Amino acid sequence: MITATECKRIYLPIFLHKGRKKYHLNLNQYRNWHYLISNTLKKQFKQTIYSQLNFTFDQKIQISYIYYAPDKRKRDLMNVIVVIDKFFQDALTEYNCIKSDDTDTVVEVKCQYGGVDRENPRVEASIYKL
């Protein structure tokens, strides 16, 4: 169990591979995926982060996201965060890290741009007890 003075940080992918194809986790792509592709990618996302989900929060939480882009192209921050947040909160619930992903548990979500990291583009999620 994590104490009130601690937070839990998880590193999340911003793209996944299915076969030879690379799928970027953003709303522009997500809305065009066939539901079978979306479901497969969601399962793969959960499997990718499973080893980091070895904790439980039994009270209200805040999730903060920091997005590190793969290059200097301009992006709509929320287009990236919204899909990753959906997949991440569903994983937290499925693996019993949190009781639910509704507003009884997740009461605040923040996001920010962290700059460019060409070698390790990612989203860092930090979960805080409130």
Domain range summary for the chain, segments of one domain joined by +? 7-51+61-129
Rounded mean pLDDT of the chain? 94
CB-based contacts of 18, cutoff 8 Å, min separation 6: 37, 40, 41, 44
The per-residue DSSP string of 86-99 comes to HHHHHHHHHTTSSS
pTM (predicted TM-score):
0.92
| pLDDT above 90: residue 47 | yes
Q: Give me the pLDDT at residue 4, please.
A: 46
76 contacts 14 by C-beta, under 8 angstroms: no
What's the CATH architecture for 7-51+61-129?
Answer: 2-Layer Sandwich (3.30)
